Amino acid sequence: MNWCIDVAVQTPAHSALGDVLSYKSPVAVAPGALVRVPLGRREVLGVAWAVRSAGEDPGSEIELKPIAGVLDALPPLGDGWRDLVAFAARYYQRSLGEIALAALPPQLRDLSAVQLARRLKRQAPAACVGGEPAAAVVALTAEQTEALARFEAEPGPFLLFGSTGSGKTEVYLRSVATLLAREPAAQALVMVPEINLTPQLEARFKARFGADAVVSLHSGMTNPQRLASWLAAHGGAARIVLGTRMAVFASMPALRLIVVDEEHDPSYKQQEGARYSARDLAVWRGRREGAKVILGSATPSLESWHRSRPAEGEDAGGSYRRLAMPSRVGAGALPAVRLVDMNLQPPKTVLSGALLDAIGQRIARGEQSMVFLNRRGYAPVLACGDCGWKSECPHCSAFRVFHKIDRTLRCHHCGFTERVPRACPACGNPDIAPVGRGTERLEEHLGELFAPVRRPDGSAVRIARIDADSTRKQGALESQLAAVHAGEVDVLVGTQMIAKGHDFRRITLVSAINPDGALFSSDFRAPERLFGLLMQSAGRAGRDAAYLTAQQSSAEMWIQTHHPQHPLFAALLRHDYAAFAQGELSERAAAGMPPFAFQALLRADARTQEAAQAFLNAASAAAEALPGADRVTRYPAVPLTIQRVANVERAQMLIESGSRAALQKLLAGWQPLLHGLRRQPEGKGVIRWLVDVDPQAI
């Protein structure tokens, strides 16, 4: 008897081939099994999605291709995993195969059944996790104890609203330990927003639960490492999986707990391909699989804050439970915030005299300072004072950034790099100069300013920079962080890479140099991101109360701004996230913006801006005929802020509705129309289009 197998394969984007392709098999294949199937001239990996006898197949008169093989050494992917993939594909408007195959380790696609069986023989057996080592047990605060008690007693999901240094990681560790003590075969997923936060968390979990019980999953690993971690999670050998956003799709048959640390971070939203939110999928997965979910942050996203609101009057409250931990561990105080009014400083002042004096005092006492500037490179622009030439990228509507360390002009959008010209390419003036300031130039400037200063032992001041450029080499980030933790760095300069998650014990002063740009951005989420970034940055200071007492010092956060009266800074001075959130949510409710409305973006990339906008406007007109279109607002097409990247023009259209269901219904009905438009005159010149549901940047 022949069987008809529906297989999810990674079909080309916008191929309109549908979610699954059908193949025939002489034997029944379990749903969720990995299979190898012919696709065009290639043989590709796929996931068996549905199985039925050939007689039940409505298209049985069509001759189907046979599957090439089954990777039967591997247990099938579970119902929960397939439901998660199907939901993500449906909600984020992507094909089933695209999501399913992207969720699997790349090396799995190239292994034959024999090679996979050989790999599985080498896999370690399931780790046996015992109780916590006695040395690892630390005393809990009253707030931590209450949060854990409520976590055990209530269903969740939970928003762990804990100030920086309040001990959120210890709550994660204890909740995992309690779970594993109760269910020895259970699994826990712990997610962080960025790769650079993984090593220190991994060290803490391995110290507590043993190295064999913990694996990592992130894009910084080699393909063999990713495959080994995935197999350990899928087979149940790994009790705890630590990872970035991609780990939300890890196959974990006994998943009982999901932790999303720094849940507010925009990095949880994928920005290429399938634009899913790992945080939102974690909540959905927890509900589907009966796993408890903890979202942790000192500055929660306004969506999570709103969903965790307590019941009040006629408002029944949100669906999340809010666990508050406002105090720092060890009686440590949050840093005092000081605003420096740059309007009172001489023109072109980079670092105010008062801030330099404060950093100098820290150096003299052997303490560390952190200077935060969210712009890498030496200078954002190189310019000619005579003719007005600027270092524009020939392929993008953006400037190339000057990197002094290797004398290059580099576009951070398309990657186009050239050597710095000896003279102005337009007029020949040899005096071309950097305009503005990045972390590389700030590092150099601080080195010049503190060159005469000496540390307590008489040695020269040591300044280090951590950003995407300085950490490019393998192991560079780990060695630089180790130097900071060892006290070998006096002043740490960096981008947002250093602003969140790190537990620096000797930093007593943090400063933000130029944060004003986000105050008046066209993106309504910019103030929320800025407040979170500044509050997270402040949280790096004074984390060790005993160290501050021994040094007879205090923790401070300095912010240099031209707008000291802005309400965002008023809330920051008091470390009052709740007041900031209330103000922002009131404005969003009045304007009908998320979380009180639901949004999507339709983006088009084309050879010309006219072609991109024509496609979007034609798509908007076509949507008029769809059921429920009157409940969804479609705004006119506009260029992106950076409208040209790598010689491709980009435009977007905002779609908004007060009903998530109405928006989803329109998007689903729109898909075939968009595919059809590509073949119409309106689609001429369009390279690709995509739908971004719940966009994080507009």
Binding-site entries for Zn(2+):
384, 387, 393, 396, 411, 414, 424, 427
Backbone angles phi, psi at 588, to 5 degrees: -70, -35
Q: How many whole angstroms separate alpha carbon 233 and alpha carbon 255? A: 10
* Burial class of residue 520 (count of CB atoms within 10 Å of its CB; 0-12, 13-18, 19+): exposed
What is the spatial distance between Cα 301 and Cα 265, in angstroms, rounded to a whole number? 8
Cα dihedral 554→557→560→564 (10° resolution): -100
Residue partners of 228: CB distance under 8 A and separation at least 6:
123, 215
| Cα separations in angstroms, 537 against 11, 376, 440, 501 | 43, 17, 19, 9
Q: Nearest CA to 46 among 102, 106, 108, 101?
A: 101
- Annotated binding residues: 384, 387, 393, 396, 411, 414, 424, 427
Type of residue at 321 = R
From CA 530, how far away is CA 162, in angstroms rounded? 18
Q: Are 461 and 449 in contact (CB under 8 A)?
A: no
Give the residue among 493, 579, 498, 492 at the shortest CA–CA distance from 531: 579
Element (H, E) at 645: strand 638-645
Question: Residue 552 burial (CB < 10 Å; 0-12/13-18/19+)?
Answer: exposed
DSSP 3-state of 480: helix
Angle in degrees, 0-180, between the axes of helices 198-209 and 476-485, rounded to the nearest 10: 70
For 321, residues 6+ apart whose C-beta sits below 8 A from its C-beta are 150, 154, 155, 156, 157, 158, 159, 308
Residue written as tokens 């219904």?
Answer: 665
CA distance 313 to 315: 5
Contact by Cβ (8 Å): 612, 624 = no
Within a 10 A sphere around the Cβ of 682, how many other Cβ atoms? 19
- Asked if 663 and 632 touch (Cβ cutoff 8 Å), the reply is yes
DSSP state of 221: S
3-state secondary structure 67-104: CCEECCCCCCCCHHHHHHHHHHHHHCCCCHHHHHHHCC
From CA 323, how far away is CA 158, in angstroms rounded? 7
Query: Are β-strands 686-693 and 507-512 bridged in parallel, bridged antiparallel, or unpaired?
Result: unpaired
Strand order, beta sheet including 3-9: 21-25, 3-9, 42-53, 34-39, 69-70
Nearest in space to 83 (alpha carbons), one of 157, 32, 28: 32
